[in-house]
Amino acid sequence: MANKGWDEFEIGAMLRTFDGSIDDIAGTSQEDRSYSENSSYTASVADWRLIKPVFNKDYCIDCQFCWIYCPDVSIISRDKKLIGVDMDHCKGCGICVEVCPTNPKSLLMYDEHDDEETVIANWPKKDEEEA
Amino acid sequence: MSEMKKIKNLKEFSTSADRFEGANLLCPGCAHSIIVREVLNATNDDLVLSASTGCLEVCTSVYPYTSWDASWIHIGFENGSTAVAGAEAMHKALKNKGRLKQPDRNPKFVSFAGDGASYDIGFQWISGCMERGHNMMHVVLDNEVYANTGGQRSSSTPIGSSATTSPAGRVSYGEKRNKKDMLSIMAAHHIPYAAQVAPNKWKDMVKKIQKGFAVDGPVFINAVSPCTTEWKFDPKDTMMLTDLATDSLVFPLYEIIDGRELNITYRPKNVVPVEEYLAAQGRFKHLFKDEYKYLIKEWQERVDENWAYLNRREEARV
Amino acid sequence: MAFDKMELRDIEVWDGNFAAAQALRQCQIDVVAAYPITPSTPIVEGYAKFLADNYVEGEFVMVESEHAAMSGCIGAAAAGGRVATATSSQGFALMVETLYQASGMRLPIVLNVVNRALAAPLNVNGDHSDMYLGRDSGWIQFDAYCPQDAYDLNFIAFKVSEDHDVRLPAMVHQDGFMTSHTAQGVHTLTDDAAYGFVGVYKPMNDMLDFEHPVTHGVQTEEDWHFEHKARQHNDLMTKVFPKIEKAFEDFEKLSGRKYNMVEKYDMDDADVAVICMGTSVETAREVALEMRAKGIKAGVVGIRVIRPFPFFAIQDALKDVKSIATLDRSAPGGTVGMLFNEMAGAMYNLETRPMLSGKIYGLGGRDLTKAHLVDLFTELQANVDTGKITTPLQQFIGVRGPKLSFL
């Protein structure tokens, strides 16, 4: 949102999350909501990251630990299935990787610039010691 | 009264549509947002929220962005709780006068505040809200310091912790005072429900939040919120730290009903030594010097004593 | 309608506090969050009794401090309904931070301030030091000189404050004890007429509208703060006076009583004039009439709307006066009084400037007597006769001890 003049925004110390009205927020997925330009949902913190999580659905058991422990609402889960990571909102904290229970993990941290397809093709094998 | 949202297991819980957004300014790995998400997702009812000045408030409402998908108010540092109480009173008034825009909804009124805002500067305000019986929930995001301003001590800062206004130094081991038992103080208002929660034990937490939403009257929740920046650990280890906090019994999980009945709600299968909890955090690293090791021993004794006390209360049903 | 109306007599004998409480009753407040403090306490006590006797509905939240009172009012106002409270002095001082928060958040709230001195030393009596403390808080501020004003101005305050083009909180000041605890015959409005004048509350950006969630109380740093405060100031400077004028007009049609930004008494040809607020206005007016009888062309200007400051109305009222004295009822703290400064600011750029001096009077409830004012008008006439100010610029009236004057 460009820096507007004093006469170009609504009064008060106030912001609106949505454009227009929204009937059942708790029953509407984020992708179906009409966020305004003032919702941080429309912003990105991708440039915070130095490392990023890569999701490998081959090993994922949809346990949802990463979904619940992600501080940034960046693990996208729909109908109880892990879809992926919201790379606009992920800050690269690494919690998802730490809480992932599978062996090998279904999420691992890689350098921000690594190519995901390559990384997934070279995914580490099961750790026999841990297993 | 609307029906409680059914949350049998984590898979079912994961179908919640979050009403808290990312791309906020909280540190990577911040436990505040994990706690907020669990609280907001515990209900499908409408929400009227507040936050007192602090990390959560600042990082989610810097113009021109808001991270809140429900009505939310910040007034100042002391008065987040009273802000929500005022909104709750208005809801009651408009309901009686037939002027609610959506009269069939049952909004939940929740105020979030840090330990500094709750235990110190906002103490009187919260006490007033609890005493007056507003139908609201106050959730403390307890990271044991004034984190947003760089980590100054609050009355929640535990002994031996190095905070910037009680720093460890050549002749000091940091904070000298023990942590204020805020939960007991709030429970002494005889509110219907008070509880200590931790975001790692999500089921315990969500159950308690739902219990809090179900009772009629004020609810006080103290949530441990390990702070990667001020407790000094790697952001990826937030849940590991929370596990250590609950499993060492430094943060026991229990509830107090009507101020007179205490139930312990989590008994770790394997209790972890307090030393492990302290060792995982930079703010305690000076305690591992020879001259301060006795404090670690005292820490363990205090935690053991507190656990024994909680067990006695539970047994005696008080 | 689940509550009972009151049948008021055309004239009721009410003190300023009870008059304000009755006005609040007639406005049908939704939430009152309040804390007792002398001398404003009877306002909230009166309101509580109305509630207990079913003359009013709504929630009455007896909070644990004045800061909590205004905080609760802000939360309730943001939720979306009609909100009011009352306080004085120390309580006002305690809630000062929330006053700035309320106005910055553009929330309509009506605050009755029963003006009382600020400690230390502790004092429960009337002076304007609390009023002066809040002058930069961004609130619309009215001044009542008597119980009638305290009653009427509450209706004006709600009407202007809640207007969607204004959305700024408003204070109604009245002198502690001198107005608040002094009874007068107050001309009343019927319950229906009063409520009809303020109207049903129309919500805006209300938190309780769940289909349009709003975030209230954002943070703005160096990239946005100035624009927000500029907007607030712009609205105070350009939007409020027209609304107040309209409200005064409409109120005159309803009641026959006309209020003005600046109340002028015998100012058309005045050579000397006194500017003041509160109960002093009526005393000054009486003395001015007596001075007229003695051949001194005396006038009085009472400030009715303190904020926004009626800059041009003041200029207009005073520009042809030869010698003016401001009466400030607050401890000046090392400088001239606020009214002195504000008059000076308004008149500095005029082609011909009146002679300006000031008095500090009435602190902590010390009486301002007619004799004091006779001396004052006599002094001002002496200034006119000699063509220069014959006294120090700042004099204390009515204090025991050697004559106290400065500048």
Q: Percent of chain C at pLDDT above 70?
A: 100
Spell out the residues 6+ positions from residue C190 whose beta carbon is closer than 8 angstroms to its own.
C8
SS3 B91: helix
Across the interface, whether the CB atoms of C65 and B127 are under 8 A apart is answered: no
The two structure tokens encoding residue A121: 């093709």
Answer whether B25's CB lies under 8 Å from B62's CB.
Answer: yes
Query: In this structure, is residue B76 part of a structural domain?
Result: yes
How many CA atoms does the CB half-sphere of B107 hold within 13 Å?
Answer: 31
Phi, psi for residue C39 in degrees, rounded to 5: -95, 20
Spell out the residues 6+ positions from residue C249 whose beta carbon is closer than 8 angstroms to its own.
none
Residue window 75-134, chain B: list those with CB within 8 Å of chain C: 75-76, 78-79, 82-87, 89-94, 96-97, 99-102, 105, 107, 124-125, 127-128, 131-132
Query: In this structure, is residue B252 part of a structural domain?
Result: yes
pLDDT for A3 = 85
The backbone region for C97, taken as left when phi is positive above 0, alpha when psi lies in -120 to 50, beta otherwise, is alpha
User: What mean pLDDT is reported for chain C?
Assistant: 97
| CA distance linking residue C82 with residue C85, whole number of Å | 11
pLDDT tens-digit profile of B161-218? 999 999 999 999 999 999 999 999 999 999 999 999 999 999 999 999 999 999 999 9
Residues from C in contact with A at Cβ < 8 Å: 104-107, 167, 205, 210-218, 220, 223-224, 226-228, 230-232, 234-235
| CA distance linking residue B37 with residue B197, whole number of Å | 14
pLDDT tens-digit profile of C290-323? 999 999 999 999 999 999 999 999 999 999 999 9
Provide the b/e sequence for A98-119 (b: ≥16 CB within 10 Å). Answer: bbbeeebbbbbbbeeeeeeeee
pLDDT over threshold 70, residue C135: yes
| CA distance linking residue C214 with residue A14, whole number of Å | 7
pLDDT over threshold 60, residue B1: no
Query: Domain total for chain B?
Result: 1
Q: How close A114 comes to chain C (CA, Å)?
A: 35
Answer whether B201's CB lies under 8 Å from B226's CB.
Answer: no
Chain B neighbors of A15, CB-CB under 8 A = 61, 63-66
Across the interface, whether the CB atoms of C61 and B89 are under 8 A apart is answered: yes
Spell out the residues 6+ positions from residue C172 whose beta carbon is closer than 8 angstroms to its own.
C20, C110, C111, C112, C113, C142, C144, C150, C153, C154, C157
User: What mean pLDDT is reported for chain B?
Assistant: 97
Domains for chain A: give ranges and CATH numbers.
1-43 (no CATH), 46-121 (3.30.70.20)
Helix-strand-coil percent breakdown of chain B, rounded to 5? 45, 15, 40
Own/partner pairs for B247-251, CB < 8 Å, 24+ apart?
B247/B271, B247/B272, B248/B272, B248/B273, B248/B274, B248/B276, B248/B277, B248/B303, B249/B274, B249/B303, B249/B304, B249/B306, B249/B307, B250/B274, B250/B277, B250/B303, B251/B196, B251/B198, B251/B224
Answer whether B9's CB lies under 8 Å from A62's CB.
Answer: no
pLDDT for B199 = 98
pLDDT tens-digit profile of A82-118? 999 999 999 999 999 999 999 999 999 999 999 999 9
B-C CB pairs within 8 A amount to: 173
Q: Count the neighbouring beta carbons within 10 Å of the beta carbon of residue C62.
A: 16
Say whether residue B59 is in contact with chain C using an 8 A CB cutoff: no
- Interface-testing mutation among C64, C107, C205, C212, with chain B (most B C-beta atoms within 10 A): C64
**H/E element, B138:** strand B137-142
CATH number for position B168: 3.40.50.970
Peptide bond into B167 cis (omega under 30): no
- Interface-testing mutation among C219, C231, C239, C240, with chain A (most A C-beta atoms within 10 A): C231
Supply the ipTM of this predicted assembly.
0.96
pLDDT tens-digit profile of B84-96? 999 999 999 999 9
Nearest CA in chain A to C224: A3
Chain C neighbors of B132, CB-CB under 8 A = 61-63
Chain A neighbors of B46, CB-CB under 8 A = 25-26
Query: In this structure, is residue B3 part of a structural domain?
Result: no
Residue window 24-53, chain A: list those with CB within 8 Å of chain B: 25-30, 33, 37-45, 48
Question: Alpha carbon of C382 to those of A16, C288, C376, C390: distances in Å?
Answer: 62, 15, 10, 7
Across the interface, whether the CB atoms of B93 and C57 are under 8 A apart is answered: yes
β-pairing verdict for C272-276 and C323-328: parallel
Name the pLDDT band for C340 (thresholds 50, 70, 90). very high
Answer whether C125's CB lies under 8 Å from C117's CB.
Answer: yes
Q: Percent of chain B at pLDDT above 70?
A: 99
Provide the H-helix boundaries in chain B: 10-13, 31-41, 55-60, 80-97, 115, 123-132, 182-187, 202-214, 238-247, 274-279, 293-316
- Where are the strands (E) in C25-158, listed by range? 31-34, 59-62, 83-87, 110-115, 140-143
Crossing angle of helices B123-132 and B80-97, rounded to 10°: 30
Q: What average pLDDT does range C55-80 have in this prediction?
A: 97
A-C CB pairs within 8 A amount to: 62
The two structure tokens encoding residue B294: 């006795």
| CA distance linking residue B105 with residue B94, whole number of Å | 13
| CA distance linking residue A71 with residue A79, whole number of Å | 20
Of residues B4 and C296, the one with the higher pLDDT is C296
Name the pLDDT band for B2 (thresholds 50, 70, 90). low
Residue type, C89: S
pLDDT for B4 = 86
Q: How far from each other are the two terminal CA atoms of chain C, in whole angstroms?
A: 61
Spell out the residues 6+ positions from residue C261 whose beta carbon is closer than 8 angstroms to its own.
C241, C244, C245, C304, C305, C310, C313
Answer whether C323's CB lies under 8 Å from C380's CB.
Answer: yes
Nearest CA in chain A to B34: A71
Domains for chain C: give ranges and CATH numbers.
11-255 (3.40.50.970), 262-406 (3.40.50.920)
Q: How close A34 comes to chain C (CA, Å)?
A: 11
Answer whether C287's CB lies under 8 Å from C373's CB.
Answer: yes
Nearest CA in chain B to C215: B72
Residue window 65-104, chain A: list those with CB within 8 Å of chain B: 65, 67-74, 77-80, 86, 88-95, 97-99
pLDDT over threshold 90, residue B3: no
| CA distance linking residue C407 with residue C405, whole number of Å | 7
Task: List the Cα angle C205/C211/C214 in 5-degree steps.
Answer: 35
| CA distance linking residue C90 with residue C85, whole number of Å | 15
Q: Count the neighbouring beta carbons within 10 Å of the beta carbon of residue B42.
A: 25
| CA distance linking residue B272 with residue A1, whole number of Å | 49
| CA distance linking residue C34 with residue C29, whole number of Å | 13
Say whether residue B103 is in contact with chain A using an 8 A CB cutoff: no
Nearest to B101 among C208, C218, C219 (CB): C208
Answer whether B74's CB lies under 8 Å from B53's CB.
Answer: yes
Name the pLDDT band for A128 (thresholds 50, 70, 90). confident
Answer whether C141's CB lies under 8 Å from C170's CB.
Answer: yes
pLDDT for C385 = 98
Residue type, C24: L
Residue window 26-55, chain B: list those with CB within 8 Å of chain C: 46, 48, 50
pLDDT over threshold 80, residue C228: yes
Say whether residue A61 is in contact with chain B using an 8 A CB cutoff: no
- What's the Rg (C-alpha) of chain A? 18
Q: How close C128 comes to chain B (CA, Å)?
A: 27
Q: C319, C402, C391: which is closest to C359 by C-alpha?
A: C391
SS3 C361: coil
pLDDT over threshold 80, residue A1: no
Chain C neighbors of B59, CB-CB under 8 A = none
Query: In this structure, is residue B2 part of a structural domain?
Result: no
pLDDT over threshold 90, residue B268: yes
pLDDT tens-digit profile of C6-18? 999 999 999 999 9
Chain C neighbors of A21, CB-CB under 8 A = 211-212
| CA distance linking residue B195 with residue C369, whole number of Å | 63
Residue window 220-249, chain B: list those with CB within 8 Å of chain A: 234-240
Query: In this structure, is residue B4 part of a structural domain?
Result: no
pLDDT over threshold 80, residue A130: no
- What's the Rg (C-alpha) of chain C? 21
pLDDT over threshold 80, residue C1: no
Q: What is the 8-class DSSP label of residue C111?
A: E
SS3 C154: helix
pLDDT tens-digit profile of B229-249? 999 999 999 999 999 999 999
pLDDT over threshold 80, residue A131: no
Q: How close A58 comes to chain C (CA, Å)?
A: 40
pLDDT for B315 = 97
Residue type, B71: S
pLDDT for C376 = 97
SS3 A23: coil
Q: What average pLDDT does range C230-258 have in this prediction?
A: 98
Q: C205, C221, C195, C311: which is closest to C262 by C-alpha?
A: C311
SS3 B197: strand
Name the pLDDT band for A2 (thresholds 50, 70, 90). confident
pLDDT for C2 = 84
The two structure tokens encoding residue B74: 């910040």
Across the interface, whether the CB atoms of A6 and C227 are under 8 A apart is answered: yes
Nearest to A7 among C210, C214, C231 (CB): C231
Kindly report the three-state secondary structure assignment for every residue of C14-56.
Answer: EEHHHHHHHHHHHHCCCEEEECCCCCCHHHHHHHHHHHHCCCC
Q: How close C243 comes to chain A (CA, Å)?
A: 17
Chain C neighbors of A34, CB-CB under 8 A = none
Q: What is the 8-class DSSP label of residue B68?
A: B
Q: Dihedral through CA B254, CA B259, CA B260, CA B265, nearest 10?
A: -10
Q: B60, B140, B210: which is closest to A71 by C-alpha?
A: B60
Query: In this structure, is residue B1 part of a structural domain?
Result: no
